Structure formats: structure tokens, C-alpha cells
Chains A and B, each alone.
Chain A
Amino acid sequence: MAFKSLKDIAFETPANWPTPSYDFSRNPLSPSKIELGRELFYDPVLSKNNSISCASCHSQFTAFTHVDHSLSHGIDDRIGTRNSPALMNLAWHSSYMWDGSVNHLDMQALAPISHPDEMGEKIEAVVGKLQKSKPYRLLFFKAFGDSTATGERTLKALSQFMLTLVSSNSKYDSVMRKQAQFTLQEKNGYTLFQKNCGSCHKEPLFTNLQFENNGLDIDTTLNDFGRMNVTKDRADSLKFKVPTLRNIEFSYPYMHDGRFKKLSQVLKHYTSGIHHSTTLAKPLLNQIVLSSNDKVDLTAFLLTLTDKDFLFNPKYSFPKK
């Protein structure tokens, strides 16, 4: 059931971008629901011992991911098994998590809330805590015209905030809109990118939203087979969701298990570290050859994907009381 009001606002799709997959008719955006979602996103009340919020592993200045930790950690300093993904442009996705185990943005938050190594809490208990809180009852009233907290409303409000996290204002975007120009180095890097990386990291989202095996050797301490864990299909072995490259300058460490700390290690992997197995992504079957100059240029291009309007936008930051 959608909660419609006169204050509903339209979601703005950047020019020349594809149509979002999220069905806004089932959850029409409104400023008060976005605000409720933002409060929830930054509030440790979602975790069992009120110590961890979404922002603990998804902080704005690092493109809403968790830097310096290859594997993200949750309550009681427990360590998970994957690197937290950067959150942006989520309205265009129709599956979430590295293995696509979550089928809808609304349902995504249930996973970290309930995981014992992350927030370790039950959604029933979260809703109970929100219902007892006067400030939240007011926020629910403003958002839904009724102060009752429910699972549906909590999750939809969180979605609303996350849907507003759109990064479309990098230098790359300005160049595409003909408002800026690449330097010679960036231009060369862009050509190399289109030739070697663009089929999986498809513009303008810089992901084809598919699952691919990018030639990482299995980490035997984790034995994470990715997409296969969900589909139970061997053809999906070692496939992970292709991450966006937007704001890559700030979203280190890289890969599903955060094994690479630097972009140079990532480029080294793609040029000389590919582990061949039956499910390897087709574009990686032939070796990618990049000279050291090429690598410098490609990196220069990747840095044009940094979007400071996104990283420092006060609309996305901790809600000040």
C-alpha cells in the first residue's frame, strides 16, 4: 500500500540516464519520509545494543562505505565476511548485496539489522523501540499521518533516504554535459577505460548491474562463492555484483572482500593477476595490456568519477537536531 500525500515529490533522473528500476508509485517520495529515513540511517537504535548505525559502515565522506576495513565489522567488534559496498544510485539496481541475495531496496536493511555479526537485532524489536520513542512517533506522524511505527513504514522510509543518494555530478558528468573538458591524460584514460573496462563497468552508472567473475582467486579463509550461494547454480560460482566505479577514489578497499587497498593493486590484478576458471567473465579471457603510462592515465580518468557534491552534500549528512 502506498502512502500518498500532497507533499509527494518526484524523483529526478539525471539527463541521459536510464529509467530507475525502483517503483516509486509504491513508495512516493516525500520530504518528511526522507527525513525519517535519514534519522533512522544515522541512528544506532537499529542495532541490538544501540551501538551501530547504518552509517557506521556506510559513511558519507567515503561514498557511504567503510574505509580501512577489508571486512566490515558490527556489534561487539564482530567481523563480517565481506567489504561493505558503497551506497549510491541505488534506484537503478534491482538486486542488492555482493551476491544479489536481496531483491528489493526496501528489504535490504533487514539483512544487516538481523545479521549477528552486524546489528544483531530483530526488526520486530527495532519497531518496538521506535514505537516507544516520542521523537520517532512524531517523525512517523509527520511522514505517514499516523504515529504508529511498522516494519513496512520503517523500511520504506529508509529506502526513501537511500534513494536520494544520487551521485551524478563528477567531473566526468560535467564533461558529458559539455560543461568541462578532460585533460589529455584523462581523455586517454577514458579511451582505455572504454576499451578495457566499460563492458562490465557500464556508463553512466559504471556498472552493468550484473554478476561477474572478475578473476579473483578464492580466499580459502572465507570460501565465498558469491552468487552461487544464492542460486545454487555452478554457472554462478565466484560471481559477484559488478560495483560502480563512481567515487572510487574514496571507496577503498576494493573487491567483495576488500583485498586491495590501492587502485594500483586493482590495475595490477586486471593486467597480470587474473585467475582463470570456467566462470571467468568473457571480457577478461584475453589479457588486458596496459603500459605504466596507460595505468597512470587510466587512474587519472578514474579520479574524474569523484563527486564532491555527493560526498559533502549536507542533505546526506548526520541530521543535526
Chain B
Amino acid sequence: MRFVVFLIVYLYACCLCSQTYKKYDVVLLPMYGQFELQPDLYYKSGNDSLMIETLKFYISGIKLIDKGKVVWIEPYSFHLVDMSELKTLCLHLTIPSSVFYDQLKFNLGIDSVTNVAGAMGGDLDPTKGMYWTWQSGYINFKLEGKSNVCKTRNNEFQLHLGGYKDPFYNLKTLTLNVSYAEKTNIILDIEQVLKTIDLSKQNHIMSPGPESILLSEKVVKSVYTQKVEK
């Protein structure tokens, strides 16, 4: 009898272990209009030109959805995406083979609970330059560069978007329709973000507030999926 129980437990454990997994890559493609965005390269903007030195942002809370139902949640889901570090542009997800999906859901930024949880490591380590020091909180999205229209020192603009507390809570959630494949390319078009604001007037956002929320909404509208050949 004892042997039979052992056998059942053993077989059950084998079943659990034999769960197979598959890879799903989410690739982020920063663009400037139709061009691939490269650091320190000048792009035409109206009658002027501008360049992007820094583009860093957090993707967190990744979920897969099938017919409106959440079918997979990535554990400890925090990714710092940095335009100048190519390997950060591809998020390698490992999901059970049985999971199928038609939508990808994720947050742009860091949720409020994580924001008040103290020091953390990995992509959330404060040495990553994405944490405000004089006033606590993660920077969700950082865009820095130069434009001739900015009458600032060295024509610089710095847009640091964040905010973890009401009324300036600034976590944005995106749900994108995706086709079931090994890879999804997600485009973030910086030209679309910047053409909605007047850089000569709005070139310095460094703390949470209404400006930060408005611009984050514009960032969300500049994100879309690119069709991938199967």
C-alpha cells in the first residue's frame, strides 16, 4: 500500500516537473518616425534638428491575456530598458507551453507599492540612475537630448517622468493586441512623443506633477506593435 502511495506521489511529481516551457521575446524598438533611434544622432524636427542622448524606461508587471482572461503573469517583473544597451531592448519571457495569448499587458513605470518598499536590487537598484534622490520615487521614463529650439544650457532638454502618489500617480498600463508568435516587436516612436509638445517651452520636467502625467499619456499613445512575419 505504502508503495502504491509513493508511486502515485512520484508520478504526480514527474508530471509537475515535466511541464514544458517556450520562449517568447518582446523586443522594444525605439524609433524616430521611420528611422531607428540611435543615441547622439541628429534627426530632423520641423525646421530644426534634435538628438536623443538618453532613453531609459521601466517595463513592469507583464501579463499575457487570452480572450480577455489573464493566462500568465511574469513573476518579479521589472525590466529597465535602455536604448544604449542593446541587450535590454529584448525581454526574454519563458512561459509554459500550454499558454496561448492574444494580448500583452504591461506597465510603463513602477507601481506605488514597489516605490515605498525600500532599497531593491537588479534593475531596481538606485545605482541605475532611475531613482529620484531628494524626493523619493522611481523615474518611470527618462528622455534626455539636445534641440536647437531649447534656449537652455547646451540646448539640453531633460524629461524625467514619474510619480507614485496621488494626485500625481503616474503608472501607465498598456494592453496591446499581439499575434501568437515567438516574438513581438513593440515600437516606441519618440518623434510622436516630442511633436506633441513645444520643446522650447517644455524642456525640463524633474518631478511628479500634472506635466509629467500629461506627457506620460503621450508616451503611451506612441507605443504600438509592429507586424512580424511568421
Contacts and interface: CB of A to CB of B under 8 A. Distances in A.
A123 B125 CA distance: 10
A151 B119 contact: yes
Interface string B98-135: 00000000000000000111111100111111010111
Contacts of A1: 120-121
Contact of B135 (A101, A104, A123, A150): A101
A55 interface: no
- Chain B interface residue bracket vs A: 20 to 34
B209 interface: yes
Contacts of A123: 126-127, 133
A127 interface: yes
A127 B127 contact: yes
A124 B135 contact: no
Contact of B116 (A104, A111, A153): A104
A159 B119 contact: yes
Interface string A144-175: 00000011110110010000000000000000
Contacts of B131: 107, 110
Contacts of A110: 126, 131, 133
B30 interface: no
A27 B118 contact: yes
Q: Residue among B118, B121, B209 with the most chain A CB within 10 A?
A: B118
Contacts of A107: 118-119, 126, 131, 136
Q: Residue among B121, B126, B129 with the most chain A CB within 10 A?
A: B126
Contacts of A111: 133-134
Contact of B125 (A26, A150, A232): A150
Contacts of A103: 115-116, 136-137
Interface in A1-42: 1, 23, 26-27
Contacts of A27: 118-119
A152 B136 contact: no
A151 B116 contact: no
A272 B171 CA distance: 47
Contacts of B168: 232
Contact of B118 (A101, A127, A156): A156
A230 interface: yes
A113 interface: yes
A150 B133 contact: no
Contacts of A210: none
Contacts of A151: 119, 121, 125-128
Interface of A: 1, 23, 26-27, 101-107, 110-111, 113-115, 123-124, 127, 150-153, 155-156, 159, 230, 232
Given A27-B118, A102-B135, A150-B121, 18 more contacts: A23-B117, A101-B134, A103-B116, A104-B117, A104-B118, A104-B119, A104-B136, A110-B126, A115-B134, A150-B125, A150-B127, A151-B126, A152-B120, A152-B121, A152-B126, A159-B118, A159-B119, A232-B209
Enumerate the 4 nearest inter-chain pairs by beta-carbon distance, A residue then B residue, closest first.
Answer: A106-B118, A151-B127, A106-B119, A152-B121
Interface of B: 115-121, 124-129, 131, 133-137, 168, 209
